[in-house]
Chains A and B, each alone.
Chain A
Amino acid sequence: MAAISVRDLRRTYTSTVGLLRTRKVSREALRGVSFEVERGELFGLLGPNGAGKTTLVKVLATVLVPTSGSAAVLGHDVVTATPEVRKRIGLVFGGERGLYGSISGRDVLEFWAALYRLPSGTARQRAAELLELVGLTERANDKVWTYSRGMKQRLHLARGLIANPEVLLLDEPTIGLDPVAAREMRQIIRQLKERGTTIFLTTHYMAEAEALCDRVAFINDGLISLVERPRVLTRLVSELRHIDAELVSTTGNDLAERLRGLGGVQDVVSTAGADGVVSLAIKTDESGYGPALALLAAAQPISVTTREPTLEDVYLRLLGERGMRV
């Protein structure tokens, strides 16, 4: 049995507009989504803002009822078996909202433990363990509003884990975090995956999905376009080679034009820096790779690096310009 099973899921939001002449306006947030997540899997859902990621998480968390189609968590339907689903999932939203700011981190966890039917003694013990897991033991008795954004997000995660859920739903858990805090959060998520927790993660950070997920799905305008392992997906764009170079501006600007004229070169993005340096980002197929490197070498660059295609390249290929507006 799959941990999460979604079949032709649709969700439409309807609102009323106008003052005197009111009319109903509908917006389809999910337009027939289907996929499965295996037990113990870390599944990533990638997509720009407004693509339907949070709506999907809310349906799985029983906060929203689908308009049509079905979704089940560990075999329990999210509409007809709501209590069974609720006691098996942990839900974590990104950002600073979702916590009581005027009480301590420990009190937050013990409050939620009661809601998930943990006996008082177990709740205290579980809260202490989770505070340790997310590195908040020393600040456990401080009011939440004194926490940094990263600390609040870690407390969010601890709250979502309070009932030791079999399935954890993480909706953009690293959004707005600085790189260090985001890395810490990813380490904790990795630990949870190693413990066997099924994790459904939404994000628009490609590196995050690539580093963490067993499989990823791309969602855009309420439709899922691909579900695959990150490595398989990057192979889809592996025919493209990437070269990043830095040159002094006098040669850089001229070189960009010459590179664009080479056969096989598909894209050259030139960015001028404030210190008289021009950065070039070159995408080329195999036929243009050697000539492009030769041209760059002759221009005496400050630096040249080549890299393998990433999930971001897949993302941009699939979502195009919309993908940039994340």
Chain B
Amino acid sequence: MNATLAWFARVVGASVRVELSKGLHAQLILGVLIGPVSSAIYILMARQLGRTDATVYVVLAPMMLGMWGTAITTSGEAVASERGEGTLELLIAAPAPAALVAIGKILTTTTESLLAVPLTLIIAVALGMPLAIEHPGHFAVALAALTLSTAAVGLLFASVFVLARSTRLFQNVIGLPLWILSGVAFPLALLPDSIRPLSALVALSWNAAVLRASATALGPWWWFGLGAAIVLSVVYFVLGARLFVGVERRVRVDGSLSTF
């Protein structure tokens, strides 16, 4: 068992090395820039409206959306590029689970997407709306949890993208409802009662809440919120890995692995 786990770790490591060797690709650069640039727009709007109380939303929301958006985009692009390069079939034919290669790729791009955090904070300072982080330790922990959920959602969607021929269409269709359900850019209380319970299933909604609280005031629910975000991320990971196996079986049956 330990030998198998060590092998799995080596496969993930090999995938990370390959991804790093490729350098920062256009999708990632775009994803990293979207957060800070969007923040700049919202900061300027908030300043014009005199809403300095909205700092935590206008600075953090685009950053989080940027990270999750990058995860969904890059996982889709990763699958599309494997398909385009003709390596997807070879990955399936190899003894190692193909999901491990996907995990390595997604971990790399997720970690790289953290570049959006300092960029966003710097822009907030430059535009005269600095975000004072009241609890830096908690903020760092919350950021780590956000990274975990970002990677998990990336894996979840990567498995769907193996099945989908048009990954870009799925990226756009999936992303927008998630942003609404996550309540990243507004308090969840604004959502209709019938929809609000669904937000509890979106890890990003918990990530957003604990990250905002770390920057402003910690509530008694903070640890619960962090735990919920981590548990949901683990569920996404397990679900993503199982889905990957199911999808692999299906594409072997319908022969759609190399079709575009």
- A residues with CB within 8 A of B: 11, 13-14, 58, 61-65, 83, 86-87, 89, 91, 93, 95, 97-104, 107, 110-112, 114-117, 120, 159, 163
Q: Please give me the 4 A-B residue pairs with the lowest Cβ-Cβ distance, nearest first.
A: A97-B86, A114-B14, A98-B86, A115-B96
A–B pairs, 15, beta carbons within 8 Å: A58-B89, A61-B89, A62-B92, A65-B253, A86-B95, A93-B86, A98-B86, A98-B87, A101-B85, A103-B21, A107-B21, A112-B94, A115-B11, A115-B14, A163-B95
What residues of chain B lie closer than 8 Å to A63, measured between beta carbons? 89, 92-93, 252, 257
**Cβ-defined contact, A115 with B89, below 8 A:** no
In the complex, the answer to whether B96 meets A61 with C-beta atoms within 8 Å is: no
Q: Are B85 and A115 in contact (CB under 8 A)?
A: no
- Which residue of chain B is the closest to A159 with respect to CB atoms? B90
Output the residue of A11, A61, A64 with the most chain B CB within 10 A.
A64
Q: A61-B89, A115-B101 are in contact. List 14 more A-B contacts (CB 8 A).
A: A62-B252, A63-B93, A64-B255, A86-B94, A89-B93, A91-B93, A93-B90, A98-B85, A98-B89, A103-B21, A111-B14, A115-B11, A115-B91, A116-B94
B13 at the A/B interface (Cβ < 8 Å)?
A: yes
CB distance from B252 to the nearest CB of A (A): 5
A144 to B10, CA, bound (A): 23
Report chain A residues within 8 Å CB of B94.
86, 112, 115-116
- Give the residue name and chain of the B residue nearest to A29 (CB): B255
Task: Tell me if A114 and B10 are in contact (CB < 8 A).
Answer: yes
Give the complex CA separation of A95 and B85 in angstroms: 11
Query: Which of A61, A100, A163 is the one whose CB lies under 8 Å from B87?
Result: A100
Q: Residues of A contacting B23 with CB < 8 Å?
A: 102
- The answer to whether B21 and A98 touch across the interface, beta carbons within 8 angstroms, is no
Shortest Cβ gap from A171 to chain B (Å): 10
Those of B9-55 within 8 Å (CB) of chain A:
10-11, 13-15, 17-18, 21-23
Minimum CB–CB distance for B82 against chain A, Å: 9
Q: Is B221 an interface residue (CB 8 A)?
A: no
A98 to B82 Cα, complex, angstroms? 8
- Asked whether any CB of chain A lies closer than 8 Å to the CB of B7, the reply is yes
How far is A255 from B98 in the complex, measured between Cα atoms in Å? 64
Contact A115 B95 (CB under 8 A): yes
